[in-house]
């Protein structure tokens, strides 16, 4: 890193430094005062009704804004609309048919530009093809594809005819796919021959075939050709996309759906037990994703080029690659492959090539880019960027400041957005033209959202204070339940604190009331009677100049109950040593207190992560306790944990320190 840049970052990292919106940003921003927050707080239902009417086109109006029969909410009751109509037809009818919906780039370098008119045409043909395969309103359709334009098309085609989609991320194993198909009792699977990832073929069809051997409800499989590597087709069951879809009519009237009809199921990656089929419905979901997409990203639909670099296989992709952006008539970028193919500057070359103005990433990606170094972003002109977003995990201040300076050029507000598959849409986030940012804080609840911090008895802890994050009133895009298991829905989210939604995350509020997320409460350690959050120790570790990334778990310990076990990735060029272990332990001791010092530190090249980039601490705990590894099917790379395990066990004397 150039020395001056290093100095800038060091100076920005001064504890307590805050970032008010710049005058330049405020001048063009959508929200610059508290009027909307205050109006929403005074009358949340009236506020959401106003947004639903303004942002969406309804075939028939609702008669009741919200019915709340705890824990079951319905929104815009009696209203009728169609999601695909809202994402496509109405924009074409309004004359925006030639506007680009997606600039798509394949990993090998092939590109496609898809306008709203073309997307409507393709979605209509696909919807007719699904009908031809026997899909009817209410049927479940599983989707197992890579990041190709046909993936959003598949979601929209289902929505067009009232079928329920259930997307399974293309990196999941045959067992995961099988379990999700069977739980949803899907009738049709949409998949492909393969997907491109890091220059190789991900064999989707082979994996799907393995799953389908045990999926009795699947009648037909629609297969998209992408990699053309030659895959077996089962006579009578499998149909090539290119044989069926182009031959269909491009006229498929959108089905009028009830506001509360099921739009999709999405299975949570399940860090424990059986995956949960999270249910999202139509009117409330689309209202809140459109609202948050417009105001959190301060969208200017005529000028912005928006890129959410998540995968459609997880909720961020559903809400902020497909439904939010298309409802708001956005021009988006979509990229198929990995960020280091052919080189580690791929993302930045895409930003420069398409003139991306808004970029939405996960902290895990940002930390990876930090580890790779500034030479890669420095190869490209990224002056088109005007706003940056973060989602998926707490972002540590070092990564925040790096993102701010190296990617945003010190000019772009960063919206740190907290939300969940279950919430459907962003819940806590800065409003970039209003909120003064603090690196590492998701700041405040958005307009219309009730959030609080409670203690173990469910009592509000006030400001400042720490405890459990809860949501205090229903919101339009909230999950409507767990597919097939209403009791589990009640137990998981509503039983812990009376009348409040339990998010499962620990949180602290500072003197100014800012929310600081501390990670999952299952990840809190109890060391000699003290609660220590894994996130706090991880933040302390990545605050050391030698450390790129860290994961911490509480391992069972005979004397202290639990002991802190740390897994640390060093920055490029730093050599692991016993001296460094001591230095890092002292560093944590100084930052938090001696009680938080890791008892063991293992240097590793990689950490076990889900495909959406979340560290699977449960598996590291198994490793640290030398237990058989739990379910590893949701891992991005199952080999990583095995290799950590063998190195952990080979580690000299760590335990008897």
Q: List CB contacts of 269: < 8 A, sequence separation 6 or more.
A: 275, 314, 610, 611, 612, 614, 634
| Residue 418 found at the interface with ligand 7RM (CB under 6 A) | yes
- Distances from the Cα of 292 to the Cα of 2, 268, 315, 319, 430, angstroms: 37, 21, 14, 10, 11
Counting contacts by CB under 6 A, is residue 321 touching ligand 7RM? Answer: no
> What's the closest the beta carbon of residue 440 comes to ligand 7RM, in angstroms?
9
Indicate the SS3 state at residue 424: coil
Q: Is 323 in the site for ligand 7RM (CB under 6 A)?
A: no
Helix (H, G, I), strand (E, B) or coil at 10: helix
Binding residue for ligand 7RM, selected from 421, 443, 477, 562, defined by CB under 6 A: 421
Q: Which is nearer to ligand 7RM, 184 or 517 (CB)?
A: 517
Residue-wise DSSP of 508-563: EE-TT--EEEEEEGGGEEEETTEEEEHHHHHHHHHTSTTEEEEEEEEEEETTTEEE
How far apart (Å, rounded) are the C-alpha atoms in residues 542 and 568?
9
**From 105, 107, 209, 505, residue interacting with ligand 7RM (rule: CB under 6 A):** 505
Place of tokens 């959050």: 533
Three-state DSSP class for residue 455 = coil
| 416 part of the interface to ligand 7RM, by CB under 6 A | yes
Q: Determine if 420 is a binding residue for ligand 7RM (CB under 6 A).
A: yes
Among 29, 73, 289, 315, binds ligand 7RM (CB under 6 A): 315
Q: Residue 58 CB: number of other CB atoms within 10 A?
A: 18
Applying CB under 6 A, among 187, 276, 520, 597 the residue interacting with ligand 7RM is 520
Cα separation of 621 and 563, whole Å? Answer: 11
Q: Which of residues 187-206 bind ligand 7RM (CB under 6 A)?
A: none
CA distance 634 to 454: 31
Q: How far is the CB of 312 from ligand 7RM (least distance, A)?
A: 13
Q: What residues from 369 to 398 belong to the interface with ligand 7RM (CB under 6 A)?
A: 391-394
Nearer residue to ligand 7RM within complex by CB, 366 or 580: 366
Stretch that binds ligand 7RM, among 99-107, 245-253, 501-509, 579-587 (CB under 6 A): 501-509
Q: Whole-number minimum distance, CB 63 to ligand 7RM, in Å? A: 32
Q: Which is nearer to ligand 7RM, 33 or 491 (CB)?
A: 491
Please identify which residue in 612, 615, 634, 636 interacts with ligand 7RM, judged by CB under 6 A. Answer: 612
**Cβ atoms within 10 Å of 64's Cβ, excluding its own:** 14
Q: If binding is defined by CB under 6 A, does position 417 make contact with ligand 7RM?
A: yes
For residues 386 and 414, give the distance between their C-alpha atoms in angstroms, rounded to a whole number: 9
Contacts of 321 (CB under 8 A, 6+ apart): 152, 308, 310, 312, 332, 334
Contact range with ligand 7RM by CB under 6 A, out of 73-81, 166-174, 188-196, 417-425: 417-425
CB 428, min distance to ligand 7RM, A: 7
Listed in sequence order, the DSSP H helices in 543-616 are 578-591
Considering the complex, state which of residue 288 and residue 421 has its C-beta at the smaller distance from ligand 7RM. 421
**Are the C-beta atoms of 524 and 506 separated by less than 8 Å?**
yes
Measured between its terminal Cα atoms, the distance across the chain in Å is 36
Position 419 contacts ligand 7RM (CB under 6 A): yes
Nearer to ligand 7RM, 288 or 600 (CB): 288
* Smallest gap from residue 619 Cβ to ligand 7RM (A): 17
Residue number with CB closer to ligand 7RM (162 or 430): 430
Name the one range near ligand 7RM by CB under 6 A: 239-247, 414-422, 554-562, 647-655.
414-422
Radius of gyration of the chain (CA): 24
How far apart are CB 363 and ligand 7RM at their closest, in Å?
8
Q: Closer to ligand 7RM at the Cβ: 244 or 469?
A: 469
Of residues 503 and 636, the one with the C-beta less far from ligand 7RM: 503
Q: Rule CB under 6 A: is residue 444 a binding residue for ligand 7RM? A: no
- Cα–Cα distance, 276 to 503 (Å, whole number): 15
Largest CA distance in the chain: 72
26: tokens are: 């405020």
CA 208 to chain CA centroid, nearest Å: 24
Q: Give how many residues touch ligand 7RM by CB under 6 A.
A: 21
Coil, strand or helix at 228:
coil
Q: For binding to ligand 7RM (CB under 6 A), which residues are involved?
A: 268, 314-316, 391-394, 416-421, 442, 503-505, 517, 520, 612
């Amino acid at each position: 890193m150039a020395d001056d840049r290093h100095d800038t970052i060091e100076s920005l990292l001064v504890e307590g430094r805050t970032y008010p919106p710049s005058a330049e940003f405020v001048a063009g921003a959508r929200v610059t005062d508290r009027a909307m927050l205050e109006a929403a707080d005074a009358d949340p239902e009236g506020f959401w009704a106003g947004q639903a009417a303004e942002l969406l086109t309804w075939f028939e109006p609702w008669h009741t804004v919200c019915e709340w029969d705890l824990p079951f909410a319905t929104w815009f009751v009696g209203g009728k609309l169609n999601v695909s109509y809202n994402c496509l037809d109405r924009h074409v009818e309004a004359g925006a048919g030639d506007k680009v919906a997606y600039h798509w780039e394949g990993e090998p370098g092939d590109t496609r530009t898809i306008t709203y008119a073309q997307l409507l045409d393709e979605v209509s043909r696909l919807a007719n093809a699904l009908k031809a395969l026997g899909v009817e309103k209410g049927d479940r359709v599983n989707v197992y594809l890579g990041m190709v334009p046909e993936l959003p098309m598949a979601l929209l085609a289902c929505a067009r005819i009232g079928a329920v989609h259930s997307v399974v991320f293309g990196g999941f194993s045959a067992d995961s796919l099988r379990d999700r198909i069977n739980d949803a009792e899907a009738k049709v699977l949409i998949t492909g021959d393969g997907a491109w990832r890091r220059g190789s073929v991900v064999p989707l069809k082979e994996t799907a075939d393995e799953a389908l051997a045990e999926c009795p409800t699947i009648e037909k499989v629609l297969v998209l050709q992408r990699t053309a590597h030659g895959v077996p087709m089962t006579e009578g069951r499998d149909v090539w996309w290119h044989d069926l879809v182009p031959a269909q009519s491009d006229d498929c009237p959108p089905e009028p759906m009830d506001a509360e009809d099921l739009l999709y199921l999405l299975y949570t990656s399940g860090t424990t037990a059986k995956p949960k089929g999270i249910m999202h419905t139509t009117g409330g979901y689309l209202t809140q994703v459109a609202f948050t997409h417009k105001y959190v990203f301060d969208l200017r639909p005529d000028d912005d080029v928006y890129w959410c670099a998540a995968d459609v296989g997880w909720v961020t992709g559903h809400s902020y690659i497909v439904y939010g952006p298309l409802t708001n008539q956005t021009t988006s970028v979509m990229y198929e492959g990995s960020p280091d193919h052919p080189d580690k500057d791929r993302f930045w070359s895409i930003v420069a090539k398409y003139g991306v103005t808004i970029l939405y990433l996960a902290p895990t990606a940002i930390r990876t880019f930090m580890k790779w170094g500034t030479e890669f972003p420095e190869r490209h002109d990224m002056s088109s960027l005007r706003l940056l977003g973060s989602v998926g995990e707490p972002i540590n201040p070092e990564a925040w400041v790096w993102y701010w300076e190296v990617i945003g050029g010190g000019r772009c507000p960063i919206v740190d957005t907290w939300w969940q598959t279950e919430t459907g849409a962003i819940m806590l986030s800065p409003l970039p033209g209003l909120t003064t940012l603090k690196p590492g804080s998701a700041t405040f609840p958005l307009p219309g959202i009730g959030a609080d911090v409670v203690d173990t008895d469910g009592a509000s802890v006030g400001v400042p204070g720490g405890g459990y994050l809860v949501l205090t009133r229903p919101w339009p895009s909230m999950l409507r339940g767990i597919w097939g298991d209403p009791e589990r829905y009640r137990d998981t989210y509503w039983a812990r604190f009376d009348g409040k939604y339990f998010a499962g995350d620990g949180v602290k509020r500072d003197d100014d009331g800012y929310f600081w997320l501390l990670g999952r409460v299952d990840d809190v350690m109890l060391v000699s009677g003290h609660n220590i959050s894994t996130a706090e120790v991880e933040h302390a570790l990545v605050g050391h100049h030698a450390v790129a990334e860290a994961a911490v778990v509480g391992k069972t310990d005979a004397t202290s109950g639990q002991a802190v076990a740390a897994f640390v990735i060093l920055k490029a060029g730093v050599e692991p040593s016993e001296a460094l272990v001591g230095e890092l332990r002292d560093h944590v001791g100084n930052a938090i207190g001696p009680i938080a010092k890791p008892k063991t530190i293992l240097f590793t090249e990689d950490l076990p992560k889900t495909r959406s980039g979340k560290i699977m601490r449960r598996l590291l705990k198994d490793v640290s306790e030398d237990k058989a590894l739990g379910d590893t099917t949701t891992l991005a790379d199952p080999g990583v944990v095995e290799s950590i395990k063998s190195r952990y066990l080979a580690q000299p004397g760590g335990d008897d320190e």
